[in-house]
Amino acid sequence: MKFLDHLTFGQYIPADSFVHNADPRGKILGTIILLTGVFLVKHPSAFCIWALFLLGVILMSRLSIRLVMGSAKPVMILVLFTAFIHFLFTGGEPLFKLGFVKITYEGLRMGVYMGLRLLFLVLFASILTLTTSPMELADGLESLFSPLKPFGFPAHELAMMMTIALRFIPTLLDETDRIMKAQLARGADLDKGNIWNRLKAFIPVLIPLFVIVFQRAEDLAIAMEARCYKGGKGRTRMHPLAWKYKDTIGLVITISAVALLSFLDRRLWL
- Which pLDDT belongs to residue 232? 65
Task: Determine the number of helices (DSSP H) and then strands (DSSP E) in the chain.
Answer: 12, 2
pLDDT in tens, 122-171: 899 889 988 988 888 888 888 888 888 888 888 888 888 877 877 777 77
pLDDT in tens, 228-260: 777 666 667 777 888 889 999 989 999 999 998
- Which pLDDT belongs to residue 1? 47
Residue 184 binned pLDDT confidence (cut-offs 50, 70, 90)? confident
DSSP letter assigned to residue 6? T
Residues 6+ apart with CB under 8 A from 70: 6, 8
pLDDT in tens, 46-104: 888 899 999 999 999 988 888 888 877 777 888 888 888 877 777 767 776 666 667 77
Residue 10 binned pLDDT confidence (cut-offs 50, 70, 90)? low
Residues 6+ apart with CB under 8 A from 61: 15, 17, 18, 19, 20, 127, 130, 131
Contact 164, 220 (CB under 8 A): yes
Which among 146, 138, 131 is positioned nearest to 165, based on CA atoms? 138
Contact 138, 155 (CB under 8 A): no
pTM exceeds 0.85, yes or no: no
Is the pLDDT assigned to residue 3 strictly greater than 50? no
- Which pLDDT belongs to residue 80? 83
